[in-house]
Amino acid sequence: MDKYKLIQEQKALAQKLILTDAIEESNLIAGASSVYTHDTIISVIIIYDIKENKVIEKKYTIEKEAMPFHKDFISYRECPALIKTYHALENKPMIVFVEGDGVLHPNKMGVASYFGLIADIPTIGVSSIKSFGVQDGDAIYHDKEIFAKILITKENARPIYVSQGHRISLSTAVEKTKTFLLGHKLPEPVYLAHKLAAKIKGGLKVSDI
């Protein structure tokens, strides 16, 4: 792993991010989540119909992780499988909620930003862990710039950190996240994707790994 080369690539990619609203309205939204077992990644994307209030499509990919864990390069580890899963979808959503960070990253290239940029889709990063920046009130800053907003979504639960991925403003990312908080800590599309990923992981046999 050439860390210097990856950092330079991240910085270059970050210059291509669109951090204003560029959303094509649709009834369909998506949730994306990845879980691991040994060195295998399970990436899930579900498509949720807002009007019908139900999941209309589920796709997942199981394959060897693209690279070992490194906190600054999670996008390189998770996105190959996520992109493969996204391209397998029959229905394309207007927004994808991604379990992970967007611009809340030293080089503004968390998994939600990388995925959104490669797939050219509006994305929102939703994370349960503050991985970067300094908290001040309900926001996470770095060099006086807001990188994420903090939301308390459930009583007695840790907050979530909402950041822009691609083709969305921070205010819209927060608004959309609040809209789909339907009783769980995570917004419904991410909750459902994570639940399915965990279920698939629990059903894996040694021969599947």
Mean pLDDT across the stretch 84-106?
97
158: Cα within 13 Å, side-chain hemisphere: 7
Average pLDDT value for the chain: 93
More reliable by pLDDT, 205 or 84: 84
Local confidence band at 157 (pLDDT 50, 70, 90 cut-offs): confident
Give dist(CA 152, CA 55) in Å, integer. 25
| Amino acid 207: pLDDT | 44
3 state DSSP class of 148: strand
| pLDDT value at 4 more than 60 | yes
| Amino acid 206: pLDDT | 43
% of the chain surpassing 90 pLDDT: 84
Mean pLDDT across the stretch 123-133?
94
Helix (H) or strand (E) holding 189: helix 188-203
Closest to 151 measured CA to CA, from 132, 169, 134, 128: 128
Strands (E), 65-183: 95-99, 123-127, 134-136, 139-142, 145-151, 160-166
| Amino acid 2: pLDDT | 85
Local confidence band at 66 (pLDDT 50, 70, 90 cut-offs): confident
Whether 167 and 22 have beta carbons less than 8 Å apart is answered as yes
Whether 106 and 75 have beta carbons less than 8 Å apart is answered as no
Q: Which domains are assigned to the chain?
A: 19-208 (3.30.2170.10)
| Amino acid 209: pLDDT | 39
Helix (H) or strand (E) holding 90: none
Whether 104 and 74 have beta carbons less than 8 Å apart is answered as no
| Amino acid 44: pLDDT | 97
Mean pLDDT across the stretch 140-150?
95
